Structure 1
Protein backbone atom coordinates (compact mmCIF):
# COMPACT_ATOMS: atom_id res chain seq x y z
CA UNK A 1 0.00 0.00 0.00
CA UNK A 2 1.51 3.25 -1.12
CA UNK A 3 0.53 6.47 0.68
CA UNK A 4 0.64 9.79 -1.04
CA UNK A 5 2.40 12.76 0.51
CA UNK A 6 -0.99 14.35 1.07
CA UNK A 7 -2.25 11.29 3.01
CA UNK A 8 0.89 11.18 5.16
CA UNK A 9 0.55 14.88 5.95
CA UNK A 10 -3.13 14.48 6.84
CA UNK A 11 -2.39 11.49 9.12
CA UNK A 12 0.46 13.32 10.89
CA UNK A 13 -1.73 16.41 11.49
CA UNK A 14 -4.50 14.21 12.88
CA UNK A 15 -2.10 12.33 15.18
CA UNK A 16 -0.50 15.51 16.50
CA UNK A 17 -3.95 16.97 17.19
CA UNK A 18 -4.98 13.87 19.13
CA UNK A 19 -1.76 13.89 21.15
CA UNK A 20 -2.31 17.57 22.02
CA UNK A 21 -5.91 16.97 23.12
CA UNK A 22 -4.97 13.88 25.11
CA UNK A 23 -2.10 15.67 26.86
CA UNK A 24 -4.22 18.71 27.78
CA UNK A 25 -7.09 16.68 29.20
CA UNK A 26 -4.84 14.38 31.22
CA UNK A 27 -2.34 16.93 32.49
CA UNK A 28 -1.72 16.74 36.22
CA UNK A 29 -3.06 19.66 38.24
CA UNK A 30 -0.52 21.63 40.26
CA UNK A 31 0.29 19.86 43.51
CA UNK A 32 0.15 21.35 47.00
CA UNK A 33 3.63 21.15 48.50
CA UNK A 34 5.16 22.61 51.67
CA UNK A 35 6.76 25.23 49.41
CA UNK A 36 3.23 26.49 48.56
CA UNK A 37 2.33 26.93 52.24
CA UNK A 38 3.43 29.25 55.01
CA UNK A 39 1.22 27.34 57.47
CA UNK A 40 2.90 24.27 59.00
CA UNK A 41 0.75 22.86 61.86
CA UNK A 42 -2.75 23.44 63.29
CA UNK A 43 -3.58 26.16 60.80
CA UNK A 44 -5.30 27.02 57.55
CA UNK A 45 -4.52 29.44 54.77
CA UNK A 46 -5.70 30.51 51.35
CA UNK A 47 -3.20 29.84 48.58
CA UNK A 48 -3.15 30.64 44.88
CA UNK A 49 -2.10 27.51 43.03
CA UNK A 50 -1.92 28.05 39.30
CA UNK A 51 -5.26 29.59 38.34
CA UNK A 52 -7.11 28.39 41.46
CA UNK A 53 -7.49 29.68 44.99
CA UNK A 54 -7.66 26.96 47.65
CA UNK A 55 -8.24 26.87 51.40
CA UNK A 56 -5.71 24.38 52.80
CA UNK A 57 -5.60 23.23 56.45
CA UNK A 58 -2.88 21.34 58.28
CA UNK A 59 -3.44 19.16 61.37
CA UNK A 60 -1.18 19.07 64.45
CA UNK A 61 1.12 16.56 62.71
CA UNK A 62 1.66 18.86 59.73
CA UNK A 63 -0.51 16.78 57.38
CA UNK A 64 -2.99 18.37 55.00
CA UNK A 65 -6.47 17.26 56.08
CA UNK A 66 -8.69 19.85 54.37
CA UNK A 67 -8.64 21.38 50.88
CA UNK A 68 -11.50 23.42 49.45
CA UNK A 69 -11.37 25.27 46.13
CA UNK A 70 -12.75 28.81 46.07
CA UNK A 71 -14.68 30.44 43.24
CA UNK A 72 -12.31 33.38 42.86
CA UNK A 73 -10.96 34.41 39.46
CA UNK A 74 -7.17 34.63 39.04
CA UNK A 75 -7.57 38.36 38.28
CA UNK A 76 -9.02 39.08 41.74
CA UNK A 77 -6.95 41.48 43.84
CA UNK A 78 -6.33 40.48 47.46
CA UNK A 79 -7.38 43.28 49.83
CA UNK A 80 -6.23 41.84 53.16
CA UNK A 81 -7.57 39.95 56.14
CA UNK A 82 -9.05 40.74 59.51
CA UNK A 83 -10.53 38.96 62.49
CA UNK A 84 -14.30 38.74 62.21
CA UNK A 85 -14.77 39.42 65.93
CA UNK A 86 -12.66 41.55 68.23
CA UNK A 87 -11.33 38.60 70.22
CA UNK A 88 -11.27 36.16 67.29
CA UNK A 89 -11.13 33.30 69.83
CA UNK A 90 -14.11 31.69 71.53
CA UNK A 91 -13.95 28.91 74.06
CA UNK A 92 -16.89 26.92 75.36
CA UNK A 93 -16.80 26.37 79.12
CA UNK A 94 -17.95 22.75 79.10
CA UNK A 95 -15.84 21.15 76.35
CA UNK A 96 -12.78 23.36 76.07
CA UNK A 97 -13.32 23.52 72.30
CA UNK A 98 -12.67 26.85 70.61
CA UNK A 99 -13.36 28.54 67.28
CA UNK A 100 -11.45 31.29 65.51
CA UNK A 101 -12.50 33.03 62.34
CA UNK A 102 -10.68 35.14 59.79
CA UNK A 103 -12.07 37.21 56.94
CA UNK A 104 -10.21 37.58 53.62
CA UNK A 105 -11.32 40.17 51.05
CA UNK A 106 -10.82 40.13 47.27
CA UNK A 107 -11.96 42.61 44.61
CA UNK A 108 -12.66 41.99 40.93
CA UNK A 109 -13.85 44.37 38.24
CA UNK A 110 -17.48 43.69 39.16
CA UNK A 111 -17.65 42.44 42.74
CA UNK A 112 -16.22 42.25 46.23
CA UNK A 113 -15.65 38.72 47.54
CA UNK A 114 -15.41 37.98 51.26
CA UNK A 115 -14.09 34.57 52.32
CA UNK A 116 -14.46 33.68 56.00
CA UNK A 117 -12.60 30.66 57.38
CA UNK A 118 -13.72 29.13 60.67
CA UNK A 119 -11.20 26.98 62.54
CA UNK A 120 -12.51 24.59 65.21
CA UNK A 121 -9.98 23.41 67.82
CA UNK A 122 -10.51 20.71 70.45
CA UNK A 123 -9.62 21.12 74.15
CA UNK A 124 -6.03 20.02 73.42
CA UNK A 125 -5.66 22.84 70.90
CA UNK A 126 -5.69 20.56 67.84
CA UNK A 127 -7.40 21.83 64.69
CA UNK A 128 -10.24 19.37 64.07
CA UNK A 129 -12.55 21.09 61.57
CA UNK A 130 -12.54 23.88 59.01
CA UNK A 131 -15.54 25.57 57.45
CA UNK A 132 -15.46 28.16 54.70
CA UNK A 133 -18.05 30.74 53.72
CA UNK A 134 -17.71 32.69 50.46
CA UNK A 135 -19.96 35.75 49.95
CA UNK A 136 -20.15 38.09 46.95
CA UNK A 137 -21.26 41.71 46.80
CA UNK A 138 -21.69 43.80 43.63
CA UNK A 139 -19.35 46.76 43.48
CA UNK A 140 -21.27 49.96 44.22
CA UNK A 141 -18.58 52.15 42.69
CA UNK A 142 -19.50 50.98 39.18
CA UNK A 143 -21.72 53.27 37.12
CA UNK A 144 -24.78 51.89 35.36
CA UNK A 145 -24.69 52.53 31.58
Structure 2
Protein backbone atom coordinates (compact mmCIF):
# COMPACT_ATOMS: atom_id res chain seq x y z
CA UNK A 1 0.00 0.00 0.00
CA UNK A 2 1.35 3.41 -0.94
CA UNK A 3 2.01 5.91 1.87
CA UNK A 4 -0.63 8.23 0.38
CA UNK A 5 -3.20 5.44 0.59
CA UNK A 6 -2.20 4.73 4.20
CA UNK A 7 -2.66 8.40 5.10
CA UNK A 8 -6.08 8.51 3.45
CA UNK A 9 -7.17 5.35 5.27
CA UNK A 10 -5.92 6.74 8.60
CA UNK A 11 -7.77 10.04 8.09
CA UNK A 12 -10.96 8.23 7.12
CA UNK A 13 -10.69 5.95 10.16
CA UNK A 14 -10.25 8.89 12.54
CA UNK A 15 -13.23 10.65 10.99
CA UNK A 16 -15.44 7.59 11.40
CA UNK A 17 -14.35 7.16 15.02
CA UNK A 18 -15.14 10.79 15.76
CA UNK A 19 -18.60 10.52 14.25
CA UNK A 20 -19.34 7.23 16.00
CA UNK A 21 -18.47 8.51 19.48
CA UNK A 22 -21.43 8.20 21.84
CA UNK A 23 -23.28 11.37 22.70
CA UNK A 24 -24.38 12.29 26.19
CA UNK A 25 -27.83 11.09 27.22
CA UNK A 26 -28.98 14.46 28.50
CA UNK A 27 -27.98 17.50 26.51
CA UNK A 28 -27.90 20.99 27.99
CA UNK A 29 -26.62 23.68 25.65
CA UNK A 30 -24.68 25.82 26.00
CA UNK A 31 -22.38 24.27 28.57
CA UNK A 32 -20.74 26.05 30.34
CA UNK A 33 -23.43 28.62 31.12
CA UNK A 34 -23.94 31.67 33.32
CA UNK A 35 -26.68 32.62 35.79
CA UNK A 36 -29.74 34.05 34.02
CA UNK A 37 -28.82 32.52 30.65
CA UNK A 38 -31.40 30.71 28.53
CA UNK A 39 -30.49 27.08 27.76
CA UNK A 40 -31.90 24.23 25.69
CA UNK A 41 -32.42 20.90 27.40
CA UNK A 42 -32.84 17.71 25.35
CA UNK A 43 -33.13 14.02 26.16
CA UNK A 44 -30.78 12.94 23.35
CA UNK A 45 -33.64 10.76 22.00
CA UNK A 46 -33.62 8.50 25.06
CA UNK A 47 -37.26 8.97 26.16
CA UNK A 48 -40.30 7.66 24.30
CA UNK A 49 -41.98 10.33 22.16
CA UNK A 50 -45.47 9.40 23.41
CA UNK A 51 -45.45 11.54 26.55
CA UNK A 52 -43.75 14.34 28.38
CA UNK A 53 -40.48 13.98 30.26
CA UNK A 54 -39.55 16.22 33.18
CA UNK A 55 -36.29 17.78 34.31
CA UNK A 56 -35.12 18.20 37.88
CA UNK A 57 -32.20 20.45 38.80
CA UNK A 58 -31.38 23.21 41.27
CA UNK A 59 -30.57 25.41 38.27
CA UNK A 60 -34.15 25.82 37.03
CA UNK A 61 -37.69 25.46 38.29
CA UNK A 62 -39.79 22.56 37.04
CA UNK A 63 -39.24 21.97 33.32
CA UNK A 64 -41.32 19.67 31.09
CA UNK A 65 -39.79 18.31 27.89
CA UNK A 66 -42.11 17.99 24.91
CA UNK A 67 -41.74 15.94 21.71
CA UNK A 68 -40.06 17.72 18.81
CA UNK A 69 -37.84 17.15 15.78
CA UNK A 70 -34.72 16.28 17.79
CA UNK A 71 -36.40 14.25 20.54
CA UNK A 72 -37.86 15.59 23.78
CA UNK A 73 -36.71 19.16 24.46
CA UNK A 74 -37.47 22.46 26.20
CA UNK A 75 -36.00 25.88 26.91
CA UNK A 76 -35.22 27.00 30.46
CA UNK A 77 -33.50 29.92 32.17
CA UNK A 78 -30.69 29.31 34.65
CA UNK A 79 -31.59 30.76 38.05
CA UNK A 80 -30.27 34.31 38.52
CA UNK A 81 -28.66 33.39 41.85
CA UNK A 82 -26.90 30.24 40.60
CA UNK A 83 -23.39 30.16 42.05
CA UNK A 84 -20.47 29.03 39.87
CA UNK A 85 -19.93 25.27 40.04
CA UNK A 86 -21.04 21.92 38.68
CA UNK A 87 -24.72 20.94 38.85
CA UNK A 88 -26.54 17.70 38.01
CA UNK A 89 -29.46 17.92 35.58
CA UNK A 90 -31.67 14.81 35.70
CA UNK A 91 -34.23 13.90 33.05
CA UNK A 92 -37.07 11.57 34.09
CA UNK A 93 -38.84 9.92 31.16
CA UNK A 94 -42.65 9.70 31.33
CA UNK A 95 -44.63 6.63 32.37
CA UNK A 96 -42.05 5.32 34.84
CA UNK A 97 -39.34 5.30 32.17
CA UNK A 98 -35.63 5.66 32.70
CA UNK A 99 -33.90 8.56 34.38
CA UNK A 100 -30.48 9.87 33.43
CA UNK A 101 -28.25 12.67 34.62
CA UNK A 102 -25.79 15.04 32.98
CA UNK A 103 -23.51 17.37 34.95
CA UNK A 104 -23.24 20.95 33.68
CA UNK A 105 -21.03 23.87 34.65
CA UNK A 106 -22.08 27.37 35.69
CA UNK A 107 -19.37 30.04 35.27
CA UNK A 108 -19.18 33.37 37.03
CA UNK A 109 -18.42 35.39 33.89
CA UNK A 110 -19.77 35.70 30.38
CA UNK A 111 -18.74 32.72 28.27
CA UNK A 112 -17.77 33.29 24.66
CA UNK A 113 -15.76 31.33 22.15
CA UNK A 114 -14.24 27.88 22.49
CA UNK A 115 -13.59 25.83 25.60
CA UNK A 116 -10.29 24.03 26.19
CA UNK A 117 -11.51 20.66 24.87
CA UNK A 118 -12.75 22.21 21.62
CA UNK A 119 -9.47 24.08 21.14
CA UNK A 120 -7.39 20.95 21.79
CA UNK A 121 -9.52 18.91 19.37
CA UNK A 122 -9.17 21.56 16.68
CA UNK A 123 -5.40 21.72 17.11
CA UNK A 124 -5.14 17.92 16.94
CA UNK A 125 -7.13 17.83 13.69
CA UNK A 126 -5.02 20.66 12.26
CA UNK A 127 -1.78 18.82 13.15
CA UNK A 128 -3.14 15.61 11.62
CA UNK A 129 -4.10 17.40 8.40
CA UNK A 130 -0.70 19.12 8.18
CA UNK A 131 1.09 15.80 8.68
CA UNK A 132 -1.03 14.11 6.02
CA UNK A 133 -0.42 16.97 3.58
CA UNK A 134 3.34 16.79 4.18
CA UNK A 135 3.35 13.03 3.71
CA UNK A 136 1.29 13.25 0.52
CA UNK A 137 3.51 15.98 -0.90
CA UNK A 138 6.65 13.92 -0.25
CA UNK A 139 5.07 10.85 -1.84
CA UNK A 140 3.79 12.64 -4.94
CA UNK A 141 7.15 14.34 -5.39
CA UNK A 142 8.79 10.91 -5.61
CA UNK A 143 10.92 11.28 -2.49
CA UNK A 144 9.33 8.49 -0.43
Same fold, TM-score > 0.5, yes or no: no
Higher helix proportion, which one? Answer: 2
Higher strand proportion, which one? Answer: 1
TM-score, length-normalised on structure 1?
Answer: 0.29
